[in-house]
Structure 1
Amino acid sequence: MTRIALWVLVGCLTAAVYASEQIPEGHDLSADQIVEKNVAARGGLDAWRKVQTMVWVGHVDSANSPARDLPFILALKRPNKTRFEITVLNQKTVRVFDGREGWKASPSGMGSGNLRPYTMDELKSAHDEQVIDGLLIDHQAKGIDVTLDGTDKVDGHDAYRLAAKLPSGLIRHVWVDAKTFLDVKYDRKARSARGEPVTVEVSYSDYKNIDGLQVPYTIESGTAASGTRDKLTIDKVSLNPPLDDVIFAKPASPGRRSSVSIDVDASPPALRAMNRPTP
């Protein structure tokens, strides 16, 4: 075989392999069409707009934690209020964001609470989060511009890679499965424990139908360069439970803080502030 013939053969094989990895013809959609199909697959725009609060109850496995199956509660309220509680060795760590400011409280070695404000990076990230329904649903109303950035393989499946430009100017990527049109992955910028910039990848799977909405029950996250991932497993989801704004307020100082309780057996569960001073 001549060199020219060999070159042509290699080129044809390369083209064939490349073509086999692309999204099949007929699925060449625009960013707007992909978002439209994603919203429909997740339950529809009107249904998601009706969700004003949400509570997740589940457990976390992390290579950096001292134990497995750490129980957590995540309370969410529009537009972007969050309260995350996780119990480690019978002690509770809390992260709260009221839509403007954030605080974190964790037990110290002496057992008393250590209350700290969010760092500037944490505040920026919290302001950029879309806590109830993510980046794509109602993105125009949120001031988020979405463009098609390409296609990739995610866990062996074809996926559209969308670039979402946030009002802050930051760009995050969202991967949408080419068949189910559900979100399967997104990335965001963060800083490591050493203060170095890193890219965090978050994967979604195990979607379940909750009152007509598709919600992922398994969420894994880790840096792109790391071989370990944290796994968050949701055991229960409640839509529109009553959540008082006081639970998203700055925690009181240790020794006088109000406790917050959640009735996970209720339907829907209710998160309440109990105005009892802690001794």
Structure 2
Amino acid sequence: MKPFALWVLTGCLASVVFASEQIPKQDLSVDQIVEKNVAARGGLDAWRKVQTMIWSGHVDSANAPAPDLPFVLAMKRPNKTRFEVTVFNQRSVRVFDGKEGWKLGPNGMGSATPRPYTMDEVTSARDEQVIDGLLIDHEAKGIGVTLEGADQVGGRDAYRLAAKLPSGVTRHVWVDAQTFLDVKVDRQVRTPLGQTVVVEVSYSDFRSVEGLQIPLEIESGAVASEKKDKLTIDKVSLNPSLDDGLFTKPAAPPMRGKSVSIDVDASPTLPGAGHPTP
């Protein structure tokens, strides 16, 4: 065989081998993948019944002054969130009411004043799909989903889907080819220094909560960084009573004593403006 023909044949065989490693065994359409994902997570009807949700647990972050900081994340449809983290008996709070956001944290003078979200934070928070994520009921949310290909995620085959949000932003969702649970998503965020970075959010330790599959461990961080923020969820409450006042911006409360707080602005991967929903 001539060298050129041998090179072409070798290249073709390599392409076939590479493709077989990249594409999961099941040849499914994007609609079938989404349908299986919704079923694996508990079903569309069950998720539609969830109007509020609370996570409580602890967070480890490179920006935190101490490990295992307790947090509470409250979510209410259509797009309200309240994230509180406690450090040394002081609270830092980030709240989005569906239109505007504010953040509150004690300063060195012993007082705290609510600060508005930046424009980037508001844009990111408006794009979040609280409670159930990007794929469940995606058509009703105005999200277009296409199948881009497949990758290895944690040593397992996963479908890579592109989700185009009503804002025009495109995010990617990786769905495990065996369990059909969404195991990773990505998004672009702007850091406090004005840099745009891609953040990956990985989901693991799925558990059944009243028939819904919810990840109890969530890691997030910039793709180029080895430092990751980790949320460990100890308790999930479905449909608790959440008054809208919980998401209303308060007047600045007086605070006394020495104040130490986690700098939630320093980490684009912590919940708040673009929190890691399931």
Given the two structures, how large is their TM-score scaled by the length of structure 1? 0.87
| SS of corresponding position for 1:134 | coil
User: Partners in 1 of 2:134 and 2:24 — Cα distance?
Assistant: 26
Compare 16-25 and 152-161 and name the one that shifted more. 16-25
Hey, what does 2:130 align to over in structure 1? 131
Identity in percent: 73
User: Partners in 2 of 1:129 and 1:39 — Cα distance?
Assistant: 18
Task: Kindly indicate whether the alpha-carbon contact (under 8 Å) linking 2:24 and 2:157 is maintained by their aligned counterparts in 1.
Answer: no
Hey, what does 2:18 align to over in structure 1? 18
Q: CA deviation at 1:15?
A: 3.3
Matching of residues 120-159 of structure 1 within 5 Å: 120-159=119-158
Q: CA deviation at 1:8?
A: 5.3
User: Partners in 2 of 1:211 and 1:31 — Cα distance?
Assistant: 27
Gaps of 5+ in 1: 257-279
Gaps of 5+ in 2: 256-278
Letter in 2 for 1:17: V
Q: CA deviation at 1:112?
A: 1.1
User: Partners in 1 of 2:41 and 2:34 — Cα distance?
Assistant: 10
Q: CA deviation at 1:6?
A: 5.2
Compare 1-10 and 221-230 and name the one that shifted more. 1-10
Task: Kindly indicate whether the alpha-carbon contact (under 8 Å) linking 1:23 and 1:178 is maintained by their aligned counterparts in 2.
Answer: no
User: Partners in 2 of 1:147 and 1:242 — Cα distance?
Assistant: 36
Task: Kindly indicate whether the alpha-carbon contact (under 8 Å) linking 1:96 and 1:248 is maintained by their aligned counterparts in 2.
Answer: yes
Q: CA deviation at 1:100?
A: 0.9
Q: CA deviation at 1:5?
A: 6.8
Task: Kindly indicate whether the alpha-carbon contact (under 8 Å) linking 1:56 and 1:73 is maintained by their aligned counterparts in 2.
Answer: yes
Hey, what does 2:3 align to over in structure 1? 3
User: Partners in 2 of 1:24 and 1:190 — Cα distance?
Assistant: 30
How many residues get paired? 255
Hey, what does 2:83 align to over in structure 1? 84
Spell out structure 1 runs of 4+ moving beyond 4 A: none
User: Partners in 2 of 1:24 and 1:72 — Cα distance?
Assistant: 37
Hey, what does 1:106 align to over in structure 2? 105
Q: CA deviation at 1:17?
A: 3.3
User: Partners in 1 of 2:140 and 2:114 — Cα distance?
Assistant: 35
Q: CA deviation at 1:224?
A: 1.1
* Distance change (3 Å), C-alpha of 1:19 and 1:164: closer
Matching of residues 153-232 of structure 1 within 5 Å: 153-232=152-231
Q: CA deviation at 1:12?
A: 5.5
| SS of corresponding position for 2:11 | helix
| SS of corresponding position for 1:233 | strand
Task: Kindly indicate whether the alpha-carbon contact (under 8 Å) linking 2:24 and 2:158 is maintained by their aligned counterparts in 1.
Answer: no
| SS of corresponding position for 2:63 | coil
User: Partners in 2 of 1:146 and 1:8 — Cα distance?
Assistant: 36
Q: CA deviation at 1:139?
A: 0.5
**Are residue 75 (structure 1) and residue 71 (structure 2) matched?**
no
**Are residue 30 (structure 1) and residue 29 (structure 2) matched?**
yes
Task: Kindly indicate whether the alpha-carbon contact (under 8 Å) linking 1:188 and 1:201 is maintained by their aligned counterparts in 2.
Answer: yes
Q: CA deviation at 1:20?
A: 3.7
| SS of corresponding position for 1:18 | helix
Task: Kindly indicate whether the alpha-carbon contact (under 8 Å) linking 1:43 and 1:212 is maintained by their aligned counterparts in 2.
Answer: yes
User: Partners in 2 of 1:6 and 1:227 — Cα distance?
Assistant: 42
| SS of corresponding position for 1:253 | coil
Task: Kindly indicate whether the alpha-carbon contact (under 8 Å) linking 2:58 and 2:233 is maintained by their aligned counterparts in 1.
Answer: yes
User: Partners in 2 of 1:31 and 1:16 — Cα distance?
Assistant: 22
Whose RCO is larger (CA < 8 A, sep 6+)? Answer: 2
Task: Kindly indicate whether the alpha-carbon contact (under 8 Å) linking 1:184 and 1:203 is maintained by their aligned counterparts in 2.
Answer: yes
Given the two structures, how large is their TM-score scaled by the length of structure 2? 0.87
User: Partners in 2 of 1:167 and 1:15 — Cα distance?
Assistant: 36
Give the number of the structure whose residues are more often strand, by fraction.
1
| SS of corresponding position for 2:121 | helix
User: Partners in 2 of 1:44 and 1:61 — Cα distance?
Assistant: 31
Q: Deviations over 1:18-55 (max 9, x none)?
A: 14413344x11111111100000000000000000000
Q: CA deviation at 1:199?
A: 0.8
| SS of corresponding position for 1:186 | strand
Task: Kindly indicate whether the alpha-carbon contact (under 8 Å) linking 2:79 and 2:130 is maintained by their aligned counterparts in 1.
Answer: yes
User: Partners in 1 of 2:70 and 2:92 — Cα distance?
Assistant: 11
User: Partners in 1 of 2:141 and 2:245 — Cα distance?
Assistant: 25
Q: Deviations over 1:115-173 (max 9, x none)?
A: 10000011011111111100100011111111111111111111111111111111111
Task: Kindly indicate whether the alpha-carbon contact (under 8 Å) linking 1:173 and 1:188 is maintained by their aligned counterparts in 2.
Answer: yes
Task: Kindly indicate whether the alpha-carbon contact (under 8 Å) linking 2:24 and 2:150 is maintained by their aligned counterparts in 1.
Answer: no
